[in-house]
Structure 1
Amino acid sequence: MSRSGRRSGRDGQRPALHRGRIVEAAMDLADRGDLSAVTMRAVASALGVEAMSLYNHIANRADLLDAMVDRIFARIELPDTGDWRADLQLMARGTRTALRQHPWATGLLDSRRSPGEVTLQHHDHVLRVLGEAGFSPAMSIHVLALVDSYVYGSVIQESSLPFDDSQGQDDASRKLLEDLPAGRFPHLAEVARTRAELGRDAPGPEEEFEFGLQVIMSALHPGMDERQPGIRTAG
């Protein structure tokens, strides 16, 4: 019988404890709070077990965080269309979707010293796509870092906005326009006025993300490490 007095499972026992359940419980805690809420004791409490029982499946909190990162990467599609730009864009969109669902993961994905199997598979896949497209190993690292930085930054920026939808964006533009001192910031006023006039048709986070992604994709091309001044490669 569980601590709440209710039986769980077909035979009245709790569902079997395993690594997957522990990771899901930890992610649920992070989703409802943040990473500081993820402790071995808190996860055990959420599962209705003693903290010591977790150590049969998870070495420590660092191992748990590694597993959480692996679970995030497992939710990102690894396309292999034969078109490296299409593959990168699909992975960028998938990463953005995963991070919007789990904002706590943004600062965690690239922080692990002992990355898991899925994490390694994800990065190896991206590097293979770039290598087969003709990017050198050194330039592949640059491209991977560039795309990741753009995706992570866009998610952080979007999560920090003081509105959640196009109506909120419209209201914020109108409020800014009303509050700006007359003639003091003419260019900012012009942009705010344009957004206010567009209303719900003004580009939102989705459109802004796609615009930036297309700019990045159009600037990248295999062999650019040999042709672009200021970019050095090993060797």
Structure 2
Amino acid sequence: MERSGGGDPRESLRLLWRAPQARSGRGRPPKVSLDKIVAAGLELADRDGLAAMTMDRLAASLGVGTMTLYTHVPGKAELVDLMVDAAWQELDLTRSGSWRDRIEHYAAQTVALHERHPWLRMVSTVRPPLGPGLLARSEFLLAALAGTGLTAAESAAATDSIVTFVDAAAATLAEHTQAERVSGQSAEDWWAARQVFWETLFDQARYPAITQAWRDGGFDRNAARAAANAFDLGLRALLDGITAMARRDG
């Protein structure tokens, strides 16, 4: 697990916001730009995973020496911050409509984002990179909730709840796809190979609630569809709860 916000704070913030840095004007022009480095990092992590995105491999993919990268970014910690924020900048946050429509749009965008960048789930943003991507997300969600009648504290808490649920659930959906791609085995085939567990080892008396839920059709045999249904139900329940709070306060 990588953690954002672990690099030099001044350098990370300067790079995230592309603040200009004084240069002497001497020497050769740079072979690569910071934006190209970030884009190459995203491509490498998307293809091979974040652990494989080393500075050496990244430099090789750009056709430059590793030290060239360090003239643009201090190290991998700062680069991960840049990559995370660049990924979040891909969200289309132009949707209008009711607050609920806007949150649902954000949720769908986040699911698609995690599908494109499955390594995002491997980066903890408890200490977030304070870049334009994540700030745009917060701005969009707070603006969407502004007309609900919630207090400022409730709107901030609701925003955090939405981000926590949607990001985690979207990462789980992406993990189903990633597991199948990496292993070459579908979820259905994986469960079929373990059918013997249910036939010979599972104790129905010990797990009566699971048994009853199975008999009543509570479990979808399609794992990806079950995960999508769980996402839809969880989001609907969360937004229904916010709606109830807004009506109470109103």
- Deviation of 1:85 after TM superposition, in Å, equals 0.7
AA at the equivalent of 2:232: E
Q: Which residue is 1:48 aligned to?
A: 63
Deviations 1:169-189 (A, max 9, x none): 873795553231253322212
Matched, 1:69 2:122: no
Q: Is the 8 A contact 2:38 2:83 kept in 1?
A: yes
Please tell me whether residue 153 in structure 1 is matched to residue 168 in structure 2: yes
Deviates more, 1:118-127 or 1:204-213: 118-127
In the alignment, the residues of structure 1 paired with residue 124 and residue 108 of structure 2 have an alpha-carbon distance, to the nearest angstrom, of: 16
- For residues 216-235 of structure 1, the aligned pairs below 5 Å read 216-221=238-243, 224=246
**The one of 113, 117, 128 aligned to 1:102:** 117
Q: Is the 8 A contact 1:78 1:91 kept in 2?
A: yes
Structure 2 vs 1, CA of residues 88 and 196 (structure 1 numbering), >3 Å: closer, same or farther? closer
Aligned residues: 212
2:21 aligns to what? Answer: none
CA apart distance, 1:28 = 2.6
**Offset at 1:78?**
0.9
2:34 is aligned to 19
Q: Return the match for 2:73 from 58, 61, 69.
A: 58
Taking the aligned partners of 1:203 and 1:194, their CA distance within structure 2 comes to 18
**Conserved in 2, the CA contact under 8 Å of 1:44 and 1:54?**
yes
Measured at CA, do residues 169 and 142 of structure 1 come closer, stay the same or move farther in structure 2, by a change above 3 Å? farther
Seen in structure 2, the aligned counterparts of structure 1 residues 206 and 223 have a Cα distance that, compared at 3 Å, is: closer
Amino acid at match of 1:131: A
Residue number in structure 2 paired with 1:119? 134
Q: By how many angstroms is 1:33 displaced?
A: 3.9
Q: Secondary structure at the match of 1:221?
A: helix
Structure 2: stretches of 5+ with no match in the other structure: 1-30, 181-185
Q: TM-score, normalization: structure 1?
A: 0.72
Q: 1:176, 1:192 within 8 Å by CA — same for their partners in 2? A: no
Q: Deviations over 1:23-63 (max 9, x none)?
A: 12212332344333333233112212112222343343333
- CA–CA distance in 1 between the matches of 2:82 and 2:116? 17
- Matched residue, 1:187: 209
The structure, 1 or 2, with the larger RCO (C-alpha pairs under 8 Å, 6+ apart) is 2
Note the residue ranges of structure 1 that are not aligned, 5 or more in a row: 1-15, 228-235
SS in 2 for 1:75: coil
CA contact (8 A) 2:114 2:171 kept: no
Question: 3-state DSSP class of the match of 1:38?
Answer: coil
The alpha-carbon deviation at position 213 of structure 1 amounts to 0.8
For the residue of structure 1 that corresponds to 2:111, the secondary structure is helix
Alpha-carbon distance in structure 2 between the residues aligned to 1:189 and 1:29? 44
Aligned equivalent of 1:83: 98
Q: 2:230 aligns with which of 208, 227, 231?
A: 208
What fraction of aligned residue pairs are identical, expressed as a percent?
25
Q: 1:87 & 1:24 partners in 2: Cα distance? A: 28
For residues 168 and 176 of structure 1, what CA distance do their matches in structure 2 show? Answer: 14
CA RMSD between the two structures: 3.5
| 2:63 equivalent to 1:31 | no
Amino acid at match of 2:64: V
- Given the superposition, is the C-alpha separation of residues 96 and 203 from structure 1 closer, same or farther in structure 2, using an over 3 Å criterion? closer
Q: Name which of structure 1's ranges 84-93 and 200-209 shifts more when overlaid on structure 2.
A: 200-209
Structure 1 position 153, deviation (Å): 2.7
